[in-house]
Copies of this chain bind each other. A is one copy, B any other.
Amino acid sequence: MKYLGHIINGDVFSESKRTLSVFNPATAQQTADVELASQVIVDEAVIAAQNAMKSWQLTPINHRAKIMFRMKVLIEQNADKICNMLTEEHGKVIDDARGELARGIENIDFACGIAQLLKGEHNSNISTNIDSWSEFKPLGVVVGITPFNFPAMVPLWMWPIAIMCGNTFVLKPSEQAPSAPFFICELAQQAGLPAGVLNLVNGDKIASELLINDPCVKAVSFVGSTPVAKSIYQQAALNNMRCQALGGAKNHAVVMPDADIDFVANSLMGAAFGSCGERCMAISVAVVIGDECADLLVQSLKQRIDGLKVGSGFDTQNEMGPLISKVHKERVEKHIESGIEQGAKLVSDGRQLFVEGFESGYFLGGTVFDHVTSDMDIYQQEIFGPVLCVMRVKNLEAALALVNKHQYGNGTCIFTQNGSAAHYFSENVAAGMVGINVPLPVPMSCHSFGGWKQSIFGDLNAYGPDAVRFYTQRKTITSRWKIPSQDHSAQFSFPS
C-alpha cells in the first residue's frame, strides 16, 4: 500500500502518527495511506521554508527561471503517471485529467517568464535630480491550501509563481487526492529547486490551522468552499498575513433564443457534468430566455443524458466518473431530494445509475431539473455534483437580475449570436469571469482567476499578473546622486 508522508527540506519525511485512508472512488478500494501532519511536521516545514529564504531570495531571477523550465520538461515527461494518479484518487476520466494537467502546466509556462513579470517601473529625473523606481520583493514563507477537485492544477496555480517571485512555499494539498501534488513536488526537487524552497505537508484541517497561525508564514493562498475561505481570510487578517481565499460558486449560463441549441446543449453537457460537476467553474444553472427555447434545450439535454457514459475514468469511452466520496455522493443525493420536494421538475434522475463491475463506486448519473425557481435550495446552494438546474425567464434583463442577485459571482456565460446581447451581458453581469459562447471561461494562465462577491476573499486573484503582485511586496526607491551644493539649507517643508 502506498504511504504518503511529507516533503520537507528536499526530503520525504514521515512521523507515522495520524493517517487517513485514500480511496479510489470508482471502486471504493483503499489505494494509499496519507499521513496527517502534526504540529511538529508543520513546524519543520515552515522552518525549512524560512531557512531556504535566505539564499533563495538572493538567487538571480534568471537562475530561478531555469529551474522552472526544467520543471516543465519533467512534468510533461511524467504526464501519464500524474494523470493516472488523478483518475485513481479523484475519479475523473483520464482525458479530463489530461486537461487539468495541461492547464496546470500553463501556469509553469507563465512562471518561466518571471523576468518580464517582475519588472518594476522606473522614472529618471522625475523631480529635480531625483530618480525613482519600484522593485517587487518576495514576502517570505507562503502557504497554499488546495482542494480535492484539481489535485494537480490548483497547486500549480500557486507555488510556481510564488517561488519564482523569490518566496519559499509550504503546500498542503487535499488529503482526499494527495498523490499527484506529492509526486509533482518530488519532481520539483529533481528539477533543481534548492532544498526547502518547496515543501509539502499532508494533513487535514488541523494542519491548515497550524499553518495559518504560524508567525513565520507571510501569505496564504486558498481554494475551497466559501465558509472555509471566509474563515481562513479572517484568521489571516488577525495574523497580519496576506491572504487570497477562493470559495464556492453557482455559475449561470444564460441562453438566448438565437443561440444554436445543439451547440448549447453540447456545451452544457460538458460544463455541467464534466468531472461530475466538481469544478468551481462548472455550470450548474442554465437560465433560458423564453419557454420555446427552454423546451428545446431541455429535450436536447435529456437525449444527451440518456446516452451519457458514466463509469471508471480509466475507460476512455467514459465521459464521467464517480464523485469523490460516499459522503459527498449522499450529500448530492440529498440536494436532489430537496429539489423534488421544493417543486422543481426532475427531467433526468442520476440516482439509480448502475455501473457494471463498479457497483461500489460513488457514481451518480447526470441530473437535470427544469422549472427551478430562485427560492429553492438547489438554486441557492452550491451542489458540486452532476446536477443542472434549468430556469426560465422572459428576457435578458431578467436573466441578468437573477445572476446578479446570487450570493456567488464566480463564472458565468451567455450563448448568443447577437453582439449587443453579449456586450450588455458581459458589461453588466456581476461575476469575475465571463464567457461569451464559452461555457467554462477559465482565464488563460497569463490572465488571472477570481470571482466576485462570496466567491473570493482578498484583493488579488489567483495566478497570472495578479499573483505576481500578491506574492510580492513593493519597494520604492527614490535616489539622488547629485548632492546640492554647499549653499543648500534645511528644507522644513514637505518636498514637492
Number of copies: 4
Contacts of A134 in B (CB 8 A): 122, 443, 447-448
Number of interface residues of A (CB under 8 A): 129
Segment of A30-38, A111-119, A374-382 engaged in the interface with chain B: A111-119
Residue A96 CB within 8 A of the other chain: yes
| A326 to B72 Cα, complex, angstroms | 46
Contacts of A20 in B (CB 8 A): none
Return the CB mask of A439-465 against B: 1 if under 8 Å, else 0. Answer: 011111111111010100111110001
Q: Is the CB of B125 within 8 A of A58?
A: yes
| A417 to B113 Cα, complex, angstroms | 33
Q: Is the CB of A459 within 8 A of B450?
A: no
Residue A420 CB within 8 A of the other chain: yes
Segment of A180-188, A232-240, A327-335, A338-346 engaged in the interface with chain B: A232-240
Residue A418 CB within 8 A of the other chain: yes
Q: Is the CB of B434 within 8 A of A478?
A: yes
Contacts of A496 in B (CB 8 A): 98-99, 102-103, 106
In the complex with contacts A96-B493, A270-B490, A437-B476 CB distance below 8 A = no
| A106 to B123 Cα, complex, angstroms | 15
- Specify the main secondary structure of chain A where it touches its partner: mixed
Q: Is the CB of A121 within 8 A of B119?
A: yes
Segment of A21-29, A190-198, A258-266, A357-365 engaged in the interface with chain B: A258-266
Which residues of A (132-152) have their CB < 8 Å from a CB of B? 132-135
Distance between A255 CB and nearest chain B CB, rounded to angstroms: 13
In the complex with contacts A93-B492, A447-B134, A60-B481 CB distance below 8 A = no
| A495 to B433 Cα, complex, angstroms | 15
Contacts of A131 in B (CB 8 A): 423
Residue A401 CB within 8 A of the other chain: no
Q: Is the CB of A118 within 8 A of B109?
A: no
List 9 additional contacts besides A60-B126, A131-B423, A443-B476; criterion CB under 8 Å. A62-B126, A103-B495, A134-B443, A134-B448, A233-B240, A422-B479, A436-B481, A441-B477, A466-B474
Contacts A/B (CB < 8 Å), 16 sampled:
A103-B494, A103-B495, A110-B116, A115-B445, A116-B116, A234-B238, A237-B457, A266-B490, A269-B492, A274-B494, A275-B494, A418-B418, A420-B481, A435-B480, A441-B478, A461-B474
